[in-house]
């Protein structure tokens, strides 16, 4: 179980990914951001060093590690490039993890090895135009017809859904409706795996996003898409409940990513404040700048402790939903606040896209929105308090 001090194994992993991020990821980040291009070579190298397989058993092509190992890798990657970090996070926690958690042995053997080695990516189609925070409002439908699911609907904001190496997207769909004792209607939401290239499955034009420009995000359309009945992932009608579990775990991963972003802003601001001269001295010698960076470091440290604690509870088999929500909330806000303050430290250069702090400023806002808005996290925390 991870504590506030890393084990030797986890420390080695963290140091290794940090070096990889600095030497491989950082040098090409600005170019991919400017071009809105997916970093295929970087992703391939991430696969080669085992990052996509970190939390999966060796029998499925994984590294035999744990979820905390994934979180540590995400933190180090996000220091220099949030797009690369979210590609890993979504590929593992949203793409591969549902198959590992809820798939049959046949499904695991078929899909996980390629996903674990990073030669393939998977996405998870949950969000719809009118079903975001209220994901239970799913309108996409799936009906059985002659041993096949016939799926109709659309999805929004689906990461890793349109790359050249995307192998499948698991979508949520209403597979039945029943009446509750009080007369209200209950939707039976299931999850179904849709391989890339399936007729009627259209990956629409990529979004022109404010940030995360090197990550792959598309709307999806499903028009009479037919897949075999055995592509059902988990039990029929349990798709929404299962995905809530995936989201709880994913909030730890997103919190780690956000912590990395917050720390990256500290690192850049500290370097610049030490080098930049004004009025005959480094700007870091001015108390206003020094105090600003001190607050930034405090935010990053607090966010790190929060996700360490949530991960420790998860791996110990203890309830962690509330701790994950708090970690996601604190870390997301830390990333956004630190990006704003780092941009201020850089002055005019902070408004130039080629500088990492400018990218963090654009990238970090989504950390208060994606995989559960800050408001949803507050709702979960307040509910735990009995409010």
Number of residues that this document lists for the chain: 387
Residue 324 and residue 381 in contact, taking contact as beta carbons nearer than 8 Å: no
Q: What pLDDT score was predicted for residue 4?
A: 76
User: Active-site residues: which are they?
Assistant: 371
Sign of CA pseudo-dihedral 218, 219, 221, 227: positive
Tell me how far apart the alpha carbons of residues 369 and 382 are, in angstroms, rounded to a whole number: 18
Beta bridge partners of 144: 149
The per-type count for the chain, helices as H runs and strands as E runs, is 12, 10
Q: What does the alpha-carbon distance between residue 224 and residue 151 come to, in Å, rounded to a whole number? A: 5
Predicted pLDDT at 130: 82
**DSSP secondary structure string for all residues of 295-345:** HHHHHHHHHHHHHHHHHHHHHTT---HHHHHHHHHHHHHHHHHHHHHHHHH
pLDDT at 182 (0 to 100): 77
Place of tokens 């022109």: 208
Contact by Cβ (8 Å): 89, 253: yes
pLDDT of residue 54: 97
Question: CA dist 318 to 4, 170, 184, 334, Å?
Answer: 17, 28, 34, 26
How far is it, in rounded angstroms, from Cα 377 to Cα 381?
6
Distance from C-alpha of 291 to C-alpha of 24, rounded to nearest angstrom = 32
The pLDDT value recorded for residue 178 is 79
The pTM score is 0.96
Report whether 90 contacts 160 (CB < 8 A). Answer: yes
Handedness of CA 340, 346, 351, 354 (dihedral sign): negative
Question: What is the DSSP secondary-structure string of 190-252?
Answer: EEEEEETT-TTEEE-PPP--SS-TTS-EEEEEEEEEEEEGGGEESSTTBHHHHHHHHHHHHHH
Please calculate the CA angle 160-239-148 and round it to the nearest 5 degrees: 85
Averaged pLDDT, groups of 10, the chain, 387 residues long: 77 98 97 97 98 97 96 98 98 97 97 98 93 80 96 97 98 89 82 98 97 98 98 93 90 98 98 93 94 98 97 96 98 98 96 94 97 94 96
- In order of 27, 151, 336, 372, the CA distances from 368 in angstroms are 27, 31, 8, 8
Give the contacts of 358 (CB within 8 A, at least 6 positions apart): 343, 346, 350, 351, 352
Q: Taking Cα atoms as reference points, which of 364, 377, 369 lies closest to residue 324?
A: 377
Domains and CATH numbers, the chain: 8-121 (1.10.540.10), 123-237 (2.40.110.10), 241-384 (1.20.140.10)
């Amino acid at each position: 179980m991870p504590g506030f001090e890393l084990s030797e194994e986890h420390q080695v992993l963290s140091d290794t990914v940090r070096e990889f991020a600095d030497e491989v990821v950082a040098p090409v980040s600005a170019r991919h951001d400017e071009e809105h291009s997916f970093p295929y070579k970087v992703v391939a190298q991430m696969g080669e060093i085992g990052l996509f397989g970190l939390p999966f058993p060796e029998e499925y092509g994984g590294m035999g590690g744990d979820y905390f190992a994934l979180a540590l890798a995400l933190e180090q990657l996000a220091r220099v490039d949030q797009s690369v970090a979210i590609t890993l996070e979504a590929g593992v926690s949203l793409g591969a993890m549902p198959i590992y958690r809820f798939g049959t042995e046949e499904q695991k053997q078929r899909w996980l090895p390629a996903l674990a080695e990073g030669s393939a990516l998977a996405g998870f189609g949950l969000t719809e135009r009118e079903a975001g925070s209220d994901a239970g409002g799913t309108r996409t439908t799936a009906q059985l017809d002659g041993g096949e699911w016939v799926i109709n609907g659309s999805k929004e904001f689906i990461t890793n859904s349109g790359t050249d190496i995307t192998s499948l997207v698991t979508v949520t769909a209403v597979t039945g409706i029943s009446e509750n004792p009080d007369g209200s209607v209950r939707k039976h939401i299931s999850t179904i795996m849709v391989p890339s290239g399936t007729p009627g499955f259209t990956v629409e034009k990529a979004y022109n996003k404010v940030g995360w420009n090197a990550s792959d995000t598309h709307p999806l359309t499903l028009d009479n898409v037919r897949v075999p009945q055995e592509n059902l992932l988990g039990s029929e009608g349990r798709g929404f409940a299962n995905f809530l579990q995936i989201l709880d775990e994913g909030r730890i991963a997103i919190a780690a990513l956000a912590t990395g972003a917050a720390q990256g802003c500290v690192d850049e601001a500290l370097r610049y404040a030490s080098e930049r001269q004004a009025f005959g001295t480094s700007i870091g010698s001015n108390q206003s700048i020094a105090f600003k960076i001190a607050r930034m470091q405090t935010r990053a440290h607090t966010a790190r402790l929060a996700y360490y604690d949530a991960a420790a509870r998860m791996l110990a088999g203890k309830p962690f939903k509330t701790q994950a929500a708090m970690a996601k909330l604190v870390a997301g806000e830390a990333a956004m606040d630190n990006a704003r303050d780092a941009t201020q430290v850089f002055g005019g250069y902070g408004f130039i896209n080629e500088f990492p702090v400018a990218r963090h400023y654009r990238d970090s806002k989504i950390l208060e929105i994606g995989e559960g808005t800050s408001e949803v996290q507050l709702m979960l925390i307040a509910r735990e308090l009995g409010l």
